[in-house]
A and B are shown apart, each in its own frame.
Chain A
Amino acid sequence: MSDQQPILELRNVVKRYSVGRGMFAAKRPLMAVGGVSLSVPRGQVLGLVGESGCGKSTLAKMVLGLETPTEGEVLIDGRPIAQLGRLERARLVQPVFQDPYSSLNPRKTIASIVGLPLAVHGEGTGPERATRVEEMLAMVGLAPRHAAAYPSQLSGGQRQRVAIARALILKPQLLICDEPTSALDVSVQAQILNLLMDLQSRLGLTSLFISHNLAVVQMLATRVAVMYLGRVVEEGPTAEVMVRAQHPYSRGLLASVLTPDPRLGLPDTRLGSVFPDPLSPPPGCAFHPRCPLVFDRCKTEAPQLRHHQGASRAACHAAERDAAMAPA
């Protein structure tokens, strides 16, 4: 196990569903994820950004082994996830989901929810587990008395802390956070983000952090990947993507983050609001109907994710053209 080995590696991962349209219509293929290759080195956080339907949650499910890729491979710590057993996989990768109201079983106490992974993996005796659960609760900022509570007695933020405790108790190699703060109030979101940042630096976690909000992602992520209609359109170091985004969609996403500055007024994202039908994606670059920089080539030829300038990669003909025209 060398340090160069990425903890998570996606190799050209594709996920297709077939979608029925009523009883008599033929099923149509829906490309939820269309060939994604990414890797996350040990101790790093990859932020995955995109809007609903871009395939980011499907990607998370495949990494967790809850869905099987149609094509391609998911490797965790160098091992193909398809070849891992249920328990082995669970030790490597754990999730934190979006909705703290549906991610905890309402009929179980917090102690038994957080202790479930230990019980399933047969770790320790009863008292040992109780101690570890208590330590874990303390680590995520919950009091020992919460152990006996039921989820309905906790606030949304406290519940999300429980979900984080459950995910970390097995000390997984990789943590998948799927919109972990989207369902929370802003002040609670801040608490959870601070907690994740703190855990990140204390435990050196490797994680995949999924969100639709770039401002949230850049709090944690060392690198960012932007997805649009199942494909990665830009990938690079967080600072670079935040400051010099190359893909017009990344720039639009960034512009639509509404910072609380009363003098700025509403941003003009120039993206329009017509979201394409994922069942019949546009030809060429899937983003071209919304793109302010569109030219002829975009309508026929799908761009590949490539280096144009700097350390990040973008899938954009306009970025390629601009880079070619710019003086070296």
Chain B
Amino acid sequence: MSDITATPPPMKLRKKRGRILGNSGLILAGTVLGLITLMAIFAPFIAPYDPYLQTLDDRLIPPAFIDAEMADPRYLLGTDNLGRDYLSRLIYGARISLLIGLLTMLVSGVIGTVLGVAAGYFGGRVDTVVSFLITTRLSLPVVMVALAVVAVAGGSLQVVVLVLGLLLWDRFAVVMRSATMQLRNLEYVAAAQAVGCSTPRILVGEILPNLIPALVVVASYEMAQAILLEAALSFLGLGVQPPLPSWGLMVAEAKEVMLFDPWVILLPGLAICVLVLAINMLGDGIRDVTAPEGRS
């Protein structure tokens, strides 16, 4: 119905701001993610203790809200079974999760977008080859391959990022391919060709900007996926290696005492959950806000 009116230009910014403020999910997710990011960046200043410092006398002290009698005011969220401050480890753990999420997303995003856009824009043989690559990739079970590679190459942050990055590009490729195919047939691409734009210029100037909403959604999904996979790999002992304070690793370390002290597994689990949820909600929200107005 938006055809009815032609809004004068100055409305633009005010409208966009209104759309951001009107989207409560976006605000909430943005705030949570912002806090987690700040926490990760300023971890050395925020964390009360060195996350690696073991105080073997203070093992498994519960936080106050779990057991007020056993709690120790020095350890706000208690300590793990090696006597390390749990709050500090959680704060430093955000660094690992965000780093792995972002890097994996970048690696897989670049691979998937390049392949998908090329396939969608050029079609023909390029499309056949890319489609074959996508099908091949989809036939690989991600967790199994990741486990196998990490088992052979050894677990480290670099290896995890590389393995996940090389495994998670399929969704980027599939979505970018079909989105590009649609855009390719639009008349503004033909107009740009007629104007004499080179192919790279069309891809960067006309196609890519219109892929951003889809890209943001896939990127947020893949980042969340990478964080979850890292947690799973670390849980299985094949991700980042101890004593790095990864949330997945913390869950793994907690499983031995899980039956007696369930909060040890609950806190990192909750952290993963909140982070993943916030990222997904942010992706959805950004898509809603950045989608161009007009005919939908």
Query: Are the C-beta atoms of A102 and B186 separated by less than 8 Å?
Result: yes
* Chain B at the A interface: SS class: helix
Find the B residue at minimum CB distance from A154.
B6
Query: Are the C-beta atoms of B194 and A116 separated by less than 8 Å?
Result: no
Q: Among the listed B6, B192, B292, which residue makes an inter-chain contact with A116, where contact means beta carbons less than 8 Å apart?
A: B192
- CB of A142, distance to nearest CB on chain B (Å): 12
Query: Are the C-beta atoms of A102 and B188 separated by less than 8 Å?
Result: yes
Q: Among the listed B9, B188, B198, B201, which residue makes an inter-chain contact with A104, where contact means beta carbons less than 8 Å apart?
A: B188
Contacts of B292 in A (CB 8 A): 106-107, 150, 152
Query: Are the C-beta atoms of B9 and A145 separated by less than 8 Å?
Result: yes
| Most central of B190, B195, B209 by chain A CB within 10 Å | B195
Seen from chain B, the residues whose Cβ lies within 8 Å of a Cβ on chain A are 2-3, 6-9, 11-12, 186-188, 190-198, 201, 205-206, 209-210, 292-295
Binds B, one of A82-90, A261-269, A291-299: A82-90
- CB of A160, distance to nearest CB on chain B (Å): 11
CA distance A149 to B188 in the complex (A): 17
Query: Are the C-beta atoms of A107 and B191 separated by less than 8 Å?
Result: no
Q: What 1/0 flags go to A135-177 for Cβ under 8 Å of B?
A: 0000000000110111111111010000100100010000000
**Beta-carbon contacts under 8 Å, A55-102 to B:** 61, 64-66, 86-87, 89-91, 93-95, 97-99, 101-102
Q: What 1/0 flags go to A108-133 for Cβ under 8 Å of B?
A: 10000000110011000000000000
Q: Among the listed B12, B186, B188, B198, which residue makes an inter-chain contact with A86, where contact means beta carbons less than 8 Å apart?
A: B198
Verify if A105 is at the interface (C-beta below 8 Å from B). yes
- CB of A306, distance to nearest CB on chain B (Å): 34
Contacts of A64 in B (CB 8 A): 190, 193-194
- CB of B196, distance to nearest CB on chain A (Å): 3
CA distance A251 to B229 in the complex (A): 70
Query: Are the C-beta atoms of A107 and B186 separated by less than 8 Å?
Result: no
Verify if A103 is at the interface (C-beta below 8 Å from B). yes
Q: A103-B187, A154-B6, A166-B195 are in contact. List 15 more A-B contacts (CB 8 A).
A: A65-B193, A65-B194, A99-B187, A108-B209, A116-B205, A117-B195, A120-B197, A145-B9, A149-B9, A149-B12, A150-B12, A150-B293, A152-B295, A153-B7, A153-B11
Contacts of A151 in B (CB 8 A): 294
Query: Are the C-beta atoms of B191 and A153 separated by less than 8 Å?
Result: no
